[in-house]
Structure 1
């Protein structure tokens, strides 16, 4: 009996310690980014480093916002990420529905092909994509970057939605077909309204992938009119010199939109992930 009481006391303590360690592991880099963005250049390079700014300054944010092209880069990232998200969610839903809800020859092959396409690392595709975009005259354009991003966001969205659509009772489709609805009408009027949490999850992940992507943005665009913020940050690295204060301030600014989106859509994210994990 004493042992049972001891276990009941130890479990919540161990859980609390685990949660605290996980939070420290996750939040420590973000804390350091914010702290560094508020330091002067002298303090950034001071030794030993300070854990908080001795004389907080917003000069790094001022330089990032008003003395550079960073806002243009953020706007470019937003345009590309929003376009990629909308197209990926639309194509993903149209591709996932037949695989998840219909029976046809080659269905399992199609599902495996989607998984394979998703698992291919982007670093293997950027050379073929470079040649394709160059031949189409889409190098250094936002459209070319959007097309490049769709190569990894569409398979991701499709695969996630396949699992989510399978959690919706098939009887709803059968009832809609009996009422005279086409497959497309069944998808748009019956399945998608129920699958809003799942759509929110895939849209948020697609947006995050496109927002944070660096390799394609660095290779496929180079002018200030088309650069995304991830590629634009490389302008703050000059040889072996890093402008750490402005780099960290720019990173904080870039984090804010994603943070706001996830806070606002937290309910849908939890619902979508929970429902999608019930049945695959």
Structure 2
């Protein structure tokens, strides 16, 4: 009875969280005349892909998609490289100021992104980077880097240093020991942090709206807001655009989801 009750509660919670996604998809498939209806049909009686055609053929969609992919993938790669280079010495080396640096990383992670808008804007203005994609790339990189450093450091701490020492005894240099022993074991950590960084950069709206005055440099979150005009909101097109907006994140997650489960090094011995 206890297991049944917990399973039923889990199904109810899952349904509550899944219902908005289902409602978004069903609204995207409804004809325009049935979107704003007084009837709440859980299953649409008529299906149409006109809303998706309207969304993807909206002017500027291809450039918005390209801009989002460029700044998101660029920020993820930079955060992974810089975070890994910072996490290794923070975990393996003892030096003066290490705890203070970790505290600064934690404070940077806790700082709300909206509170940094004005300082970031002034900094990008002084660097003459406003209305350019590198400004968004740098902001997203700075936003995701603290989490990447903190997470990767925790994973590195979980890998016994004796494995690297055993490799160096066998003739490997410190770099070779890291590349052949530690780096493969950090695969799940790199995947999990990349998923977080990707979702954070992909969903960001405020900086993309404020920094980019030229529409050709704006990203998909700003494109989503274009379905609301002074004459009303195209709810069917907005829901279809939201589905299209979620596809890259789901695709990325499906590609890397096998590696999300952290590997274990328990029982690893020198053979």
TM-score, length-scaled by structure 1: 0.88
1:135 is aligned to 2:122: no
Indicate the residue corresponding to 1:215 in structure 2: 206
Indicate the residue corresponding to 2:227 in structure 1: 236
SS at match of 2:85: helix
1:94 is aligned to 2:82: no
Indicate the residue corresponding to 2:268 in structure 1: none
How big is the shift at 1:177? Answer: 4.9
CA distance in 1, matches of 2:48, 2:198: 32
8 A Cα contact 2:109 2:147, kept in partner: yes
Q: Aligned runs of 1:153-168 on 2, under 5 Å?
A: 153-168=144-159
Indicate the residue corresponding to 1:33 in structure 2: 24
CA distance in 1, matches of 2:152, 2:231: 44
How big is the shift at 1:41? Answer: 2.3
How big is the shift at 1:180? Answer: 5.8
Unaligned runs of 5+ in 1: 1-9, 276-280
More divergent stretch after superposition (196-205 vs 221-230): 221-230
Indicate the residue corresponding to 1:49 in structure 2: 40
CA distance in 2, matches of 1:189, 1:232: 44
Q: Aligned runs of 1:113-192 on 2, under 5 Å?
A: 113-178=104-169, 179=171, 181-182=173-174, 184-192=175-183
Indicate the residue corresponding to 2:5 in structure 1: 14
Distance 1:58 1:43, change over 3 A: same
Indicate the residue corresponding to 1:3 in structure 2: none
SS at match of 1:271: coil
Q: Aligned runs of 1:254-265 on 2, under 5 Å?
A: 254-265=245-256
How big is the shift at 1:140? Answer: 1.2
* Structural RMSD (CA): 1.9
CA distance in 2, matches of 1:173, 1:158: 20
SS at match of 2:105: helix
How many residues are paired up? 264
How big is the shift at 1:186? Answer: 4.2
How big is the shift at 1:268? Answer: 1.0
Cα deviations by residue, 1:117-159 (Å, 9 ceiling, x for unpaired): 0110000111101011111111111111000111210101101
8 A Cα contact 1:97 1:187, kept in partner: no
8 A Cα contact 1:95 1:158, kept in partner: yes
Indicate the residue corresponding to 1:4 in structure 2: none
CA distance in 2, matches of 1:52, 1:139: 46
Match of 2:60 among 48, 69, 83: 69
SS at match of 1:51: coil
CA distance in 2, matches of 1:133, 1:84: 16
